[in-house]
Amino acid sequence: MRRLPAGDGELIQIVDSALADAVRRGGSWLVCHKGCTQCCVGVFAINQLDAARLQWGLADLKKTDAQRARRIRERARASVKRLSGEFPGDAKTGVLDARVFDEGSEAEEQFAEFANDEACSALDPETGLCDLYEARPMTCRTFGPPVRSEGGLGVCELCYQGATDEQIAACEMVADADDLEAKLLEKLEKTRGPRGRTMVAFAVR
């Protein structure tokens, strides 16, 4: 298990505070709730800081609930086995091919269609809850409220029904204005561990 950079706790506080503010401004438009798994099905890329946090969370869970930790790992290994044949990268290391992040490329289009029905390994299929919630990746921490990307302001398709573009924009979540995550990630990848993005199952297998 890789140790987390010293600033990760600060990053989590910043992002969680931004989320709480976005939830307050979003009001009834934000319909995310416990048991809603819309964003837990379909694979997505995570960075190595996310991967290290998940590994830390799994190791911590093993101390308090070894059976639940074992089930996560079993789900992850089963997922890796299913996905390895068509994994767009190095299935041994779990690192995705950098070309899948080239906008407009064939590799990006293939990844967009890759394993869309695969549930996250951290998702408990019986409860509909995340077994590694406190250690979840940044994508999971920012999903739901309006978040700006290169493609514009995006929201969960279940949220903000009936809201105007102006109302949505007024609820925009700015998760990490000082780009602390990028600084911590650079430090992590320079000092230890693999470089490049991966997926949840490959991080916790």
Euclidean distance between CA atoms 70 and 51, whole angstroms:
17
Q: pTM of the prediction?
A: 0.93
Site of tokens 């990268």: 89
- The separation between the first and the last C-alpha atoms of the chain, rounded to the nearest angstrom, is 12
pLDDT at 30 over 60: yes
How far is residue 151's CA from residue 148's CA, in Å, rounded to a whole number? 8
Please give the Cα distance from 173 to 148 (Å, whole number). 8
CA distance 203 to 52: 8
Angle (CA) 36-42-43 rounded to 5° is: 125
pLDDT (average), residues 139-153: 91
pLDDT the model gives residue 194:
86
What integer pLDDT is reported at residue 77 of this predicted model?
A: 98
Q: Which residues in 174-191 are b (16+ Cβ under 10 Å) and which e?
A: ebeeeebbeebbeebeee
Q: How confident is the model at residue 200 (pLDDT cuts 50, 70, 90)?
A: very high
In three-state secondary structure terms, 134 is helix
